[in-house]
Structure 1
Amino acid sequence: MAEDRTLAARLPGPLGELARRGHGGAALILVRERGGLKLYIPKRLLPSSSLVTLIGEKAAAVLIDICGNSHIDVPSRGCLNDTLKAAVLRTDGSTREISQATGATERYVRMVRNGGAPQPWHRPRRAKPKDERQIDLENWLATKPKP
């Protein structure tokens, strides 16, 4: 069951929910066999369905319960890589505890938990040195006699 929990943290959407409900093996089969493709989930469970032959009747019934009568995008195998982001998402605790457990910085842990990206830091532009040979336009217009 703990294996299904870590798998559920790595798999997005309906396949993650399928793993949370105890059918992690079926979710892995879908990723391995149909990864990167769109898959139609029928409205009713039909024994002759290709979904039933692929993952089994019980897992297909759970998947139909989750998202029946719709298309899902099956994630590719890249989502199964044990990345730092997945480790941060599946670890419980405070920001500091997660940072120490995963080796990520506290800033990265906060960023992943908030679901956003850090604001890029730009170095402020330096003012260009004033060229003394140039005339200041405002002063020139103010001193120019008006006809």
Structure 2
Amino acid sequence: MPLDSAFAGRVYPPTEPYEVGREKIREFARAVGADHPAHHDPGAARELGHRDVLAPPTFLAVLMQRATDPVVYDPELGLDYYRVVHRDQRFSFTRPVYAGDVLRLVVHIDSVRSLAGNDVIELRAEAQDAEDLPVATIRMALVSRA
């Protein structure tokens, strides 16, 4: 059964605040092979003008995965997650992500459409810091195979 295109435009409530930890950044950096000292050593990051350990650009994928759970598992949408493949993910930054940041994401369903018999859902999350200032926009597309 195709996904309901009426879900386009839906906005989900903000996620719970997530405090970005130094060790989480280091773990992620090791996992993706980001070996620049700014991702591991606060002193090296400060020497480059950063306030603390700098998260690799794709670090926000961790938060995006959690933030999209309410969409993916929304019974009204009817997405069969066992048939889903990750099509695309993009990050646009207003500023870098640092250890100590407290972030929340607000997820938007930008579109739901059919493509070659498959359903494509395009999601966007706006990441904000504890002062509600913008940090990044994360875009993700999922394909539910026919």
The TM-score normalised by the length of structure 1 is: 0.19
| Larger Rg belongs to | 1
Relative to its length, the structure with more strand (as a share) is 2
More helix by percentage = 1
| TM-score (norm. length: structure 2) | 0.19
